[in-house]
């Protein structure tokens, strides 16, 4: 009799455990690990990405396929080794379904193996090193930004249209800096008189490089410096008296995160980008309006727009598998369709999961309130595909 009671109790406990397990499964969250820079002088970029990602979740009702979304934000501190450690934590301890974010190419490259080896989908919302588009492409890695070379390639094409005959190139000495200057050189038809690479990220005094540019005989300068470095470079360029003597062409040096500090120095300095805040599609109009309403006094940047699209891309994958994130092949197939309302308008993925998309000429203007903002001037290139895609042998 005691044995019968014990058996009945064990069965009851077992059934209760099954019921609890089913309940837990039904209540599972979609776990996303978000790595960006949230401290130091470049935190403004990471904060804009986080703000935009949060806004995307608001627009999704903070659920994907009916499941609540849990986001774990981690600060890479602008350091590749820290980014790698945080990526390992998110994968091995937090068991996230997706990794997203990554501003810096060197941080992304340091973190890539952890994601790929664990078969955790990684969506880079900014960094686009050439290796990622080529030999290091992976079924588990997607971009909602670009390959690094593409934006400066577009600027090189614009410089050709302007009839620029010679240029002096300046950029930081790390993966993205090398890609950026290589991108300009691949499309610019004039003469590259010289190029300088500076210590990254510590160097903020560019007087020596500006002097070399002035003395080179080049008629123009191309520069890539994101964030605080871009603020310092532009202000020093103007202070050196070069604005009226050597026109400046840029990629990623002027955006909504830097304009409040660059101020009127940014007027008349063209840039290129795949997203500008005034693109006329309805999804983008809603994003910009809601961002400015939620984060009073702030304007979204391209960093934020790419993070917003990353949330929408993840949602498209989760919805496709009805919340069952164990279905990796089906999620991959869903993301490859790019079937969501991107803020940049429609785009498609290449074989390496890098967007094939338009790039626009942007200019700095003053709006009706006298505030500086970026305006789309023209489409430089349509449906541009990165030049490393043929090196991608995705398995």
User: Is residue 388 domain-resident?
Assistant: no
Instruction: Kindly state whether residues 75 and 45 are assigned to the same domain.
Output: yes
Closest CA to 344 of 286, 291, 279: 279
User: Is residue 385 domain-resident?
Assistant: no
Q: What 3-state class would DSSP assign to 41? A: coil
Instruction: Kindly state whether residues 290 and 269 are assigned to the same domain.
Output: no
Threshold 0.75, pTM exceeds: yes
User: How many folded domains does the chain comprise?
Assistant: 2
Instruction: Kindly state whether residues 102 and 159 are assigned to the same domain.
Output: no
Looking at 244, 273, 302, the residue that finishes a domain is 273
CB burial of 218-244 (b: ≥16 within 10 Å; e: otherwise) equals bbbbbbbbbbbbbbbbbbbbbebebbe
> What pLDDT, on the 0 to 100 scale, is given for residue 26?
31
Q: In Å, how far are 89, 96, 210, 245 from 114, measured between CA atoms?
A: 10, 12, 40, 48
CB 394 within 8 A of CB 349: no
Instruction: Kindly state whether residues 100 and 175 are assigned to the same domain.
Output: no
> What pLDDT, on the 0 to 100 scale, is given for residue 126?
98
* DSSP H or E segment with residue 87: helix 80-92
Instruction: Kindly state whether residues 194 and 262 are assigned to the same domain.
Output: yes
User: Is residue 367 domain-resident?
Assistant: no
Instruction: Kindly state whether residues 247 and 108 are assigned to the same domain.
Output: no
- Spell out the alpha helix ranges (H) of 295-374: 302-320, 328-336
Looking at 256, 273, 290, the residue that finishes a domain is 273
Instruction: Kindly state whether residues 136 and 213 are assigned to the same domain.
Output: no
User: Is residue 370 domain-resident?
Assistant: no
- The CATH number for 348's domain is 3.40.50.2300
User: Is residue 203 domain-resident?
Assistant: yes
User: Is residue 377 domain-resident?
Assistant: no
Domain range for residue 166? 150-273
Question: d(Cα 317, Cα 15) in Å, to the nearest integer?
Answer: 33
Instruction: Kindly state whether residues 39 and 142 are assigned to the same domain.
Output: yes
The pLDDT profile of the chain, 395 residues, written as one tens digit per residue, is 433 333 334 433 333 343 333 333 333 899 999 999 999 999 999 999 999 999 999 999 999 999 999 999 999 999 999 999 999 999 999 999 999 999 999 999 999 999 999 999 999 999 999 999 999 999 999 999 999 999 999 999 999 999 999 999 999 999 999 999 999 999 999 999 999 999 999 999 999 999 999 999 999 999 999 999 999 999 999 999 999 999 999 999 999 999 999 999 999 999 999 999 999 999 999 999 999 999 998 999 999 999 999 999 999 999 999 999 999 999 999 999 999 999 999 999 999 999 999 999 999 998 888 889 999 999 999 999 999 999 999 87
Looking at 273, 291, 320, the residue that finishes a domain is 273
Instruction: Kindly state whether residues 223 and 281 are assigned to the same domain.
Output: no
Q: What are the tokens at 303?
A: 């960093």
- Token pair 């903070």: residue: 62
Instruction: Kindly state whether residues 142 and 71 are assigned to the same domain.
Output: yes
Instruction: Kindly state whether residues 287 and 141 are assigned to the same domain.
Output: yes
User: Is residue 38 domain-resident?
Assistant: yes
Instruction: Kindly state whether residues 160 and 245 are assigned to the same domain.
Output: yes
User: Is residue 82 domain-resident?
Assistant: yes
């Amino acid at each position: 009799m005691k044995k019968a009671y014990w058996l009945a109790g064990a069965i009851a406990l077992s059934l209760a455990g099954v019921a609890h397990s089913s309940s837990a499964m039904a209540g599972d969250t979609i776990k996303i690990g978000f790595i960006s820079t949230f401290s130091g002088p470049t935190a403004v970029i990471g904060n804009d990405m986080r703000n935009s990602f949060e806004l995307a979740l608001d627009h999704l009702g903070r659920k994907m396929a009916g499941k609540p979304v849990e986001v774990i934000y981690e600060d890479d501190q602008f350091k590749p080794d820290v980014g790698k450690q945080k990526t390992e934590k998110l994968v091995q301890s937090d068991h996230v379904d997706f990794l997203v974010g990554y501003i810096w190419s060197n941080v992304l490259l340091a973190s890539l193996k952890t994601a790929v080896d664990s078969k955790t989908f990684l969506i880079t919302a900014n960094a686009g090193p050439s290796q990622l588009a080529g030999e290091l492409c992976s079924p588990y890695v997607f971009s909602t930004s670009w390959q690094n070379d593409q934006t400066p390639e577009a600027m090189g094409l614009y410089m050709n249209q302007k009839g620029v005959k010679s240029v002096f190139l300046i950029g930081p000495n790390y993966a993205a800096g090398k890609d950026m200057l290589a991108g300009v050189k691949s499309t610019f038809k004039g003469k590259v008189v010289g190029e300088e690479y500076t210590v990254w990220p510590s160097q903020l005094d560019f007087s020596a490089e500006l002097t070399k540019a002035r003395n080179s005989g080049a008629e123009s300068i191309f520069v890539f410096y994101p964030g605080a470095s871009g603020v310092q470079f532009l202000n020093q360029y103007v202070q050196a008296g070069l604005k009226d003597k050597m026109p400046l062409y840029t990629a990623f040096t002027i955006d909504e995160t830097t304009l409040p500090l660059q101020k009127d120095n940014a007027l008349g300095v063209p840039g290129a980008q795949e997203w500008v805040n005034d693109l006329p599609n309805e999804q983008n109009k809603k994003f910009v309006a809601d961002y400015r309403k939620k984060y009073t006094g702030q304007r979204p940047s391209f960093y934020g727009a790419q993070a917003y699209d990353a949330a929408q891309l993840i949602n498209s994958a989760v919805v496709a598998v009805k919340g069952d994130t164990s279905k990796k092949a089906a999620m991959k197939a869903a993301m490859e369709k790019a079937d969501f309302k991107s803020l940049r308008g429609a785009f498609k993925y290449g074989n390496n999961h890098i967007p094939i998309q338009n790039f626009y000429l942007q200019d700095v203007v003053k709006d009706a309130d006298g505030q500086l903002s970026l305006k789309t001037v023209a489409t430089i290139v349509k449906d541009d595909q990165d030049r490393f895609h043929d090196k991608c042998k995705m398995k």
